[in-house]
């Protein structure tokens, strides 16, 4: 008998993309949603898909996803975010190949395509990255970090070909709301680890280096205006993160 799959998702006011996201995983044996206090239609949409809904106060992305994994009834866990969609090719690959033919494999890395300001990126680092999103929970779980969490797994892993589609930000305003949240949490994490950060000249000089790498070396210039904006914003991320750390250290 083929192993059953639990899909896990964490939410907070995700009504914009949630219906399509849940529809793309409706073939899973159960959908676990861990919500941190949504005030929009998120929970109503989850109920339409018979999701198992749990409330958990948000203390970081890693801990929130770890909590979701613990609530999963099945050994195999598929994690997607509320702005991600499982493509039909990926669904077929998981249901027809992965869980039937590879009993020794404990986790699968899935490629993800970025869709930014309505454009699916065919070039750039974002179109070539793989994420460990399907795994056997008996052999691993998410790290407990607040941001940039990842699955820590003991066992054999393989890469899949079918893609997750990541509808990251519907507009620039939404981008910077998340940008501000992520950079703040990253700075706090560095402070707690005792990081001294970087000198101000290094932070400033880092920006053009990051932009050249993102726009030219990673070929985001091939993605048009969205590629330029993504490169610009991505290059600002470490600059703002380290200046926020600098601010926290100097405010004491």
Candidates 3.40.30.10, 3.90.550.10, 3.30.70.2190, 3.40.120.10; correct CATH number of 5-168? 3.90.550.10
Cα 248 from Cα 236, distance rounded (Å): 18
pLDDT at residue number 101: 67
Cα 217 from Cα 76, distance rounded (Å): 37
Among candidate residues 183, 56, 79, the one with its CA nearest the CA of residue 134? 79
Residue 242 CA, chain-centre distance (Å), reads: 22
Average pLDDT over residues 53-82: 96
Residues sharing a CB contact under 8 Å with residue 226, sequence separation 6 or more, in sequence order: 116, 117, 118, 119, 121
Q: What is the pLDDT of residues 105-154, one digit of tens each?
A: 999 999 999 999 999 999 999 888 999 999 999 999 999 888 789 999 99
- For residue 114, what is the DSSP state? E
Radius of gyration, alpha carbons of the chain: 19
Q: What is the pLDDT of residues 177-235, one digit of tens each?
A: 999 999 999 999 999 999 989 999 999 999 999 999 999 999 999 999 999 999 999 99
Q: What is the pLDDT of residues 13-55, one digit of tens each?
A: 999 999 999 999 999 999 999 999 999 999 999 999 999 999 9
Look over the chain and give the mean of its residue pLDDT values, rounded to a whole number: 94
Largest CA distance in the chain: 60
Q: Are 135 and 77 in contact (CB under 8 A)?
A: yes
Helix, strand, coil tally for the chain in percent (to 5): 45, 25, 30
Q: What is the DSSP string of 126-169?
A: GGT-EEEEEEEGGGEEE---SSS--EEE-SEEEE-SS-EEEEEE
Among candidate residues 22, 74, 69, the one with its CA nearest the CA of residue 49? 22
The alpha carbon dihedral of 225, 215, 178, 50 has a sign of positive
Question: Residue 252 — pLDDT band, cuts 50, 70, 90?
Answer: low
Number of H helices, E strands in the chain: 8, 12
pLDDT at residue number 125: 92
pLDDT at residue number 1: 60
Among candidate residues 89, 73, 97, 135, the one with its CA nearest the CA of residue 2? 97
pLDDT at residue number 128: 86
Domain boundaries, the chain: 5-168, 172-250
Among candidate residues 87, 90, 94, 83, the one with its CA nearest the CA of residue 29? 94
Cα 145 from Cα 192, distance rounded (Å): 11
pLDDT at residue number 168: 83
pLDDT at residue number 98: 75
Question: Residue 251 — pLDDT band, cuts 50, 70, 90?
Answer: confident
Among candidate residues 219, 193, 197, the one with its CA nearest the CA of residue 206? 197
């Amino acid at each position: 008998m083929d192993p059953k799959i639990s899909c896990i998702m964490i939410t907070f006011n995700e009504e914009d993309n949630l219906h399509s996201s849940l529809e793309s995983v409706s073939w899973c044996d159960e959908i676990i949603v861990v919500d941190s206090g949504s005030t929009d239609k998120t929970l109503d949409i989850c109920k339409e898909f018979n999701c198992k809904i749990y409330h958990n106060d948000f203390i970081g992305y890693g801990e929130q996803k770890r909590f979701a994994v613990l609530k999963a009834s099945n050994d195999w866990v598929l994690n997607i975010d509320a702005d991600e969609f499982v493509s039909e090719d990926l669904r077929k690959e998981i249901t027809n190949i992965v869980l039937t033919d590879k009993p020794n494999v404990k986790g699968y890395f899935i490629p993800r395509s970025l869709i930014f300001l309505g454009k699916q990126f065919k070039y750039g680092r974002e179109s070539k990255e793989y994420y460990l999103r399907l795994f056997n929970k008996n052999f691993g779980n998410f790290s407990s970090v607040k941001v940039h969490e990842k699955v820590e797994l003991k066992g054999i892993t393989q890469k899949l070909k079918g893609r997750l589609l990541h509808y990251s930000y519907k507009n620039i305003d939404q981008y910077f709301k998340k940008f501000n949240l992520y950079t703040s949490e990253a700075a706090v994490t560095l402070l707690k680890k005792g990081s001294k950060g970087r000198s101000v000249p290094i932070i400033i000089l880092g920006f053009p280096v990051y932009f050249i790498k993102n726009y030219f070396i990673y070929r985001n210039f091939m993605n048009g205006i969205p590629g330029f904006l993504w490169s610009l914003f991505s290059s600002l991320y470490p600059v703002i993160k380290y200046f926020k750390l600098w601010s926290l250290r100097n405010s004491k």
